[in-house]
Structure 1
Amino acid sequence: MQATQSVNKGMLEKIFKLSEHNTNVKTEIIAGITTFMTMAYILVVNANILSDAGMDKSAVFAATAISAFIGCCVMGLLANYPIALAPGMGLNAFFAYTVVLGMGYSWQFALCAVLIEGLIFIVLTITNVREKIIDCIPPVLKHAVTAGIGLFIAFIGLSNSGIVVNGATIVALGNLTDPLVLLTIFGLILASILLAKNVKGAFLLAMITISSVGMIGGLVALPTGIVSAVPSLKPVFLQALSVPVNQIFSFDMIVVVFTFLFVDLFDTVGCLVGVASKGNMLDENGKLPKVKQALFADAIATTSGALLGTSTVTSYVESAAGIGDGGRTGLTAVTTGTLFLLSLFFAPIFTAIPTQATSPVLILVGVMMASSLTKIDFSDFTNAIPAFLTFAMMPLSYSIADGIIFGIISFTILKIATKKKEEINFSLIILSILFICKFIFLSK
């Protein structure tokens, strides 16, 4: 038995280079579980959103789980990064409410657009276009992206838990006497103490404790069971290939594909840069090693997801939760992916994790990522203003992509206006022009 365990550990060490990254199997698995628990909500949420477009809910649940498994495993094995992938929020809403319900196209048309997007991303990755976009972003904006994603994650946690709500002043403090809000606050205090005491697996322990307390106290629902039947993919499988040729080569298809491409590209860029920075994965030049492999994982996951029957698969900012729990290699991502696959068999358990358990973790991940602000030179306004717009616009516009856009445009304009052209490159100018055109011609 011990010999088998030693062989397995040796194999994992060889594949993921654990000691080189100052980590071990236990830490990586705990980190993978933590990441999964913070993003398991997508299993139900994605199925609910795409079912509004007329898709079979159970089939989408299965497609979500399998596409996440594929994306996480490719990321872990190809890039050896602790970054998990799953169908992205926002892109699934655009899929259902804009393309299908708004523009009146079938969900098969929308799946075809996602498939085309994935194939284009594979080409752009092979030709290093996506890699060059990441490399051309200046270090100050990379730090701002990290902080912005932290603020974005924290805002999601605060909003999901009811600590902040919609109000007369855009956002307002929620009802702090609500038992569910109190449960979240208790969880935030508990997770903070465990984190401050450097307890291994602090986030995972906190989420398990909060879930247990909520269920025992009758505040959140108990799992409806343990094992469930595996849903069939048949209603949505390969439906992306059923679209008539005249629709594939239509102008509307071009617009839809471009929108998917644009949002996914810069959401992924932002996530990779921000999360990698938090995990100290950037090199001395501020570049992400193996970025091409990471982008391949995203492209392959999106393409396979479309064939399986789900919207765009992308890197998840919640991966920072696993990194916060010590995840440093692809074993974290593979663990997360494996749990997504297991969710097909144990859906009642995995979907019973309440937002009150995940929200405190997201808030504290925001705290950890905000440390990147200390690396920004606020005495130089040509750096300070773009950096501020980058990290402020992410939570306020509820979009990582929009934060990056505002940062790049303002950085380029200010550097040119103050005759600091040596600090910008031609790629940055081209991106700024494209972003401005996007706002002019594609914004409603």
Structure 2
Amino acid sequence: MKFKESVNGAVNGILDRLKNAVNRIDDRVNQSTFGRVFRLKGSGHENEIHDATFSAELRAGLTTFATMVYIIAVNAHILSDTGANCVCKNKNDLGLCSNEAEYVMCQNEVRRDLVTATAAVAGFSSIVFGFLTNLPVALAPGMGLNAYFTYQVVGVRGSGGIPYGLALTAVFVEGFIFILLAITGMRHWMVKIIPGTLKTASGVGIGLFLTLTGMSYGNGIGLVTGSVSTPLAIGGCPPEYLIRGECPRDIMKSHKMWLGIFGGLLTAWLMAFRVRSAIIIGVAAVSILSWPRNTSISYFPHTEEGDSRFEFFSRIVEFHPIKHTLSAQEWDLTGKGARFMIALVTFLYVDIIDCTATLYSMARFCGKVDEKDGDFPRSTLAYCTDAALISFGSLLGCSPVTVFVESGAGIAEGGRTGLTAITTGICFILAIFFAPIFASIPPWATGCTLILVGCLMIRQVTTGPRSGFTPSETVRRSAPSSTRTDRRRLPRRRQTRSRQRHRCRNPARRVSNREVSLDQASTFPCACLLMALSLLT
């Protein structure tokens, strides 16, 4: 008993000394010029943040990095499907090149380039954004737009209507347009006139797209495939058994698919217990199990491609220079002007909605939104900085850069200033030198991450507006239901009272008086515009 008390006393003494040491460091840094720049507690700045300390900012930055480091591997896997500037000669009906082995090796090099590029863009963007805006928000190439960039704009192995270099040009130009909109104040006006239903539908649609990507073979667990008779079919067979993209046999027997599902279940279980590093733990667990060579789930099979992967992985710590994606923009729009404009408008539209909503949410979460005007300090500078970083990211070969909602994990940990974002950025810069590890994360390890992130985005459908003649209301009214049948059986007096109560709950909905809200009036033309754009693609 005495021994236990002595041990507890010794441990408590050590913890107290550590706490006192941290407090002394906090006081010294907070009262320095450095602390005054970031308005830390006790810095003497007239607008100092009373709950911001140096140690809390560092801890919050590390937490944010742990929750979003998965983007390095996931973004590289997705964007490398474009093939960048690799040349595919004489592609056949199966999508294979006559120089298949050479093309695959080039594609692996592109993936390694994009690992370096993603880490560099995320690191530099977070550092610059944190220093200029003093917000605890980290940036990186955005999920959703990277999939749209790859599979809709450029296409797998460049099979889309726009080459990789021209798509990067669209991203580059979009950044400058975003700056112009932010400076002139048009960004705020455009966000207001876009219907709430379309704002919600954009996030939900991208979420569904990410979920499908995570279930596919290219960058997922291989759960579904294409089909001749139906748009999708159950897959899950080993990749070597695929014939024209379909599984004729051994359905749901792929060991790699089941390992990916295990990783997804592990991640979901950890997320249910609010473990902040749940995603990276799930990805790391599946990756480590996939690295031994003599297994059916190995990412390094005994083939020429597997040997090349393992040789690069064995270096562990190495700086991989960017060769294929650096300054790869093309400016020749001959015959591709319409598709270029569609891609440009889509990138701009999604970035305006995503950046505005996420930045506002994060600023409110850390208590920086002024309740009087609904704005936060340096908002215009924040939007302009984000836009400039979009153009910067395209120079390194990345899809649009955006604010990451995972920044909320760091804010919940105590992050209140730009020092949190700078800490996250420094961690991403250090990750550049571990490119061999991040480039060796298999697609079935990140597939369920895409599915889970997509599902989180789909949840936006529960927050969308439900009043008026929205598209969802139209679908609901056109579908037969027992509720409508029961209403026909009600006496006329009860029906009238029901309608009156419904009008009281929805004062904006007075169709008989032709009083329609802005959201209702603009939904139909905006939907027609989106339909026309989709037909052009």
Same-fold call, TM cutoff 0.5: yes
Aligned partner of 1:269 among 331, 334, 352: 352
SS across alignment from 1:14: coil
Question: Are 1:183 and 1:210, in contact at CA under 8 Å, matched by a contact in 2?
Answer: yes
Task: Look up the SS of the partner of 1:169 in the other structure.
Answer: coil
Q: Cα distance, 1:187 vs. partner?
A: 1.7
Residue 166 of structure 1 and its aligned partner are, at CA, apart by 2.5
Structure 2 match to 1:393: none
Q: Name 1:90's counterpart in structure 2.
A: 148
Alignment correspondent of 1:70: 124
Q: Please state if 1:352 is matched with 2:410.
A: no
Q: Which of 170, 176, 182 is the aligned partner of 2:231?
A: 170
Residue of structure 1 equivalent to 2:401 = 314
In the alignment, is the contact (CA less than 8 A) between 1:157 and 1:359 conserved in 2? yes
Task: Tell me the alpha carbon deviations over residues 204-240 of structure 1, each in whole angstroms, 9 at most, x when there is no partner.
Answer: 333322322333584243733212243156x775575
The whole-number CA distance in structure 2 between the counterparts of 1:388 and 1:287 is 34
Aligned residue for 1:342? 430
Residues 211 and 354 of structure 1 are in contact (CA less than 8 Å); yes or no, is this contact kept in structure 2? yes
> Which structure 2 segments of 5+ residues have no match?
1-20, 42-47, 88-105, 237-251, 301-312, 477-508
For residues 204 and 225 of structure 1, do their structure 2 counterparts lie closer, same or farther at Cα, with a shift above 3 Å needed?
A: same
- Residues 257 and 444 in structure 2, CA contact (< 8 A), matched pair in contact too: yes
Cα distance per residue 1:84-104 (max 9 Å; x no partner):
322834335677569x88779
SS at match of 1:382: coil
Q: Which amino acid aligns with 2:315?
A: G
Which amino acid in 2 is paired with 1:162? G
Deviations 1:131-166 (A, max 9, x none): 322233344554554544444443333331223333
| Residue 421 of structure 1, CA deviation | 3.3
| Contact 1:382–1:415 under 8 Å retained in 2 | no
Output one character per residue of 1:258-284: Cα deviation in whole Å (capped at 9) or x when no partner: 334212112313433665688695878
Aligned residue runs from structure 1 range 24-423, under 5 A: 25-43=58-76, 45-47=78-80, 49-52=82-85, 57=110, 62-78=116-132, 80=135, 82-86=137-141, 88-91=146-149, 114-159=171-216, 160-167=220-227, 168-175=229-236, 176-215=252-291, 218=295, 219-221=297-299, 223-231=313-321, 255=338, 258-272=341-355, 275=358, 281=364, 289=376, 292-306=380-394, 308-310=395-397, 312-315=399-402, 319-320=404-405, 323=408, 334=422, 337-376=425-464, 378=466, 380=467, 382-383=469-470, 385=472, 419-423=514-518
8 A Cα contact 2:66 2:280, kept in partner: yes
Q: 1:323 to 1:386 in 2, by over 3 A?
A: farther
Distance of 1:59 and 1:362 partners within structure 2: 21
| Alpha-carbon distance change, 299 to 225 in structure 1, aligned in 2, over 3 angstroms | same
Give the secondary structure class of the aligned counterpart of 1:49: coil
- Specify the SS of the correspondent of 1:421: coil
CA distance in 1: counterparts of 2:445 and 2:253, whole angstroms: 18
Tell me, in whole angstroms, the C-alpha distance in 2 between the residues paired with 1:388 and 1:288: 36
Cα distance change of structure 1 residues 25 and 144 upon mapping to structure 2, 3 Å threshold: farther
SS of match in other structure, 2:299: coil
* In structure 2, distance between residues paired with 1:5 and 1:70: 26
- Structure 2 counterpart of 1:85, which letter? A
Instruction: Supply the AA of the counterpart residue of 1:91.
Output: F
Asked whether the 8 Å contact 2:147–2:210 carries over to 1, the reply is no
Q: How many residue pairs align between the two structures?
A: 405
The one-character-per-residue Cα deviations of 1:90-130 (angstroms, maximum 9, x if unpaired) are 335677569x887798x766655554443333222222223
How far apart, CA to CA, are the structure 1 residues paired with 2:382 and 2:221? 32
Task: Give the 3-state SS of the residue equivalent to 1:30 in structure 2.
Answer: helix
User: Is contact 1:146–1:273 with CA below 8 Å preserved after alignment?
Assistant: no
* Cα gap change, 1:191 to 1:18, in 2 (>3 Å): farther
How far the C-alpha of 1:347 sits from its partner, in A, is: 1.0
User: Identity rate of aligned residues, in percent?
Assistant: 22
Change (3 A) 1:165 1:427: same
> In structure 2, what residue type is equivalent to 1:262?
V
- Rg bigger for which structure? 2
Q: Does the 8 Å CA contact 1:114/1:312 hold for their aligned counterparts?
A: yes
Q: Which amino acid aligns with 1:166?
A: G
Measured against aligned partners, the alpha-carbon deviations of 1:317-356 in whole angstroms (never above 9, x if no partner) come to: xx44564786877667555544543343221111122333
Structure with more contact order per residue of length (Cα contacts < 8 Å, sep ≥ 6):
1
Asked if structure 1 preserves the Cα contact closer than 8 Å seen for 2:58 and 2:420, the reply is no
Does the CA contact (< 8 Å) of 2:138 and 2:424 recur in 1? no
Amino acid in the other structure paired with 1:120? I
- Report the alpha carbon displacement of residue 300 of structure 1 after superposing the two structures with TM: 1.0
Contact 2:326 2:397 in 1 (8 A): no
Q: Does structure 2 retain, via aligned residues, the 8 Å contact 1:53–1:101?
A: no
User: Counterparts of 1:297 and 1:388 in 2: how far apart (Å)?
Assistant: 41
From the superposition, tell whether residues 76 and 387 of structure 1 become closer, same or farther in structure 2 (CA, over 3 Å).
farther
Amino acid in structure 2 at the alignment position of 1:84: L
Which is worse superposed, 367-376 or 272-281?
Answer: 272-281
Report if the CA contact (8 A) 2:138-2:425 is conserved. no
Summarize the Cα distance change of 1:133–1:7 in structure 2 as closer, same or farther, 3 Å threshold: farther
Query: Counterparts of 1:286 and 1:206 in 2: how far apart (Å)?
Result: 42
**1:198–1:113 distance in 2 versus 1, CA, 3 Å:** closer
Residues 65 and 341 of structure 1 are in contact (CA less than 8 Å); yes or no, is this contact kept in structure 2?
A: yes
Equivalent AA in structure 2 for residue 272 of structure 1: C
Structure 2: which amino acid aligns with 1:188? Answer: G
Residue segments in structure 1 that go unaligned for 5+ positions in a row: 390-413
SS across alignment from 2:401: strand
What is the CA–CA distance in structure 2 between the aligned matches of 1:239 and 1:76, rounded to whole Å? 28
Between the aligned partners of 1:30 and 1:436, the Cα distance in structure 2 is: 41
Q: Distance in 2 between matches of 1:140 and 1:386?
A: 11
Deviation of residue 424 (structure 1)?
3.9
Given the two structures, how large is their TM-score scaled by the length of structure 2? 0.59
CA drift of 1:177 comes to 3.2
* Corresponding position: 1:14 with 2:40: yes
SS where residue 85 of structure 1 aligns?
A: strand
Does the CA contact (< 8 Å) of 1:40 and 1:350 recur in 2?
A: yes
